[in-house]
Amino acid sequence: MRAIAKCLRQSQLIQMTNFLAALALCFSSVAIANSEFSDFFNSFETLSADFTQQTFSDSNTLLTKTSGYLHFKRPASFVWQTKTPIEQTLLLNKHELWLIDTELEQASQQATNDLKNTPLYWLMNRPENLQDLPRFSHSELGVNWYKTSQSNQLSFGFRNKTLDTIQLTSQLGQKIQVLFSKIILNPELNESVFALNLAPGFDVIR
């Protein structure tokens, strides 16, 4: 009986040791992963990248697909340039946000009081200065996902410690996915890149 009891205790000890080892590994992985978001967004003053944006219906049907490039400079200078299928520009400069439609020759000023619900908020603010940061959610197909607490389910995906994808849900329940490529950290960007230069004849809506 003593031999049996001893074997049971050894078995339980081994199981507990394995469990604690697995738990430690789990927490270690999460700690490493949680630093990935902060390390990236704390690492630059300027950023440039190409993007492809896809919008899906609630049944996962592709509705629209656009592509273009972006430039960003802290604290609050931003250009989101769509090239295909139509040419549009989202421009933030000197606390003014503009949506510019080249084909319609129209520029309209947008509200900036709800930027916290957009990915732009996380570009403008360094994680080291924020408290409620996105939290590591899961890994899938080589991408580590960080989810915010925002109602639009905004999430950031990282591959090889670099921003790979942003996902969010629109007010209509559509899923928007932005894939990034050719990301350059700290490129030299002149202030003229973010200037509002409109051709004569543009209709300006404030």
Give yes or no for residue 53 having a pLDDT over 80.
yes
Assess contact for 175 and 55: CB atoms under 8 A. yes
Per-residue pLDDT of 184-194, as tens digits, reads: 999 999 999 99
11 located within any domain: no
Taking only the tens place, the pLDDT of each residue in 87-138 is 999 999 988 999 999 999 999 999 887 788 788 998 898 888 888 899 999 9
CATH number of the domain where residue 166 is located: 2.50.20.10
Look at residue 37 and give its three-state secondary structure. Answer: helix
Distance of CA 177 to the CA centre of its chain: 10
- Our count of domains for the chain comes to 1
Q: Does residue 6 lie in a domain region?
A: no
* 3 within a domain of the structure (yes/no): no
Q: What is the pLDDT of residue 34?
A: 55
Is residue 109 assigned to a domain? yes
pLDDT at 10: 47
Q: Is 14 a member of any domain? A: no
Mean pLDDT of 143-168: 95
Look at residue 153 and tell me if it is in a domain: yes
Residue 162 lies inside a defined structural domain of this protein? yes
User: 35 pLDDT exceeds 80?
Assistant: yes
Could you read off the pLDDT of 56-97 as tens digits, one per residue?
Answer: 998 899 999 999 999 999 999 999 999 999 999 999 998 899
| Per-residue confidence (pLDDT) for residue 19, from 0 to 100 | 34
Contacts 24+ apart (CB under 8 A), 112-120: 116/150, 117/150, 117/151, 117/152, 117/154, 118/154, 119/154, 119/156, 119/166, 119/168, 119/178, 120/78, 120/92
In a domain, 28, yes or no: no
Domain that holds residue 97: 37-205
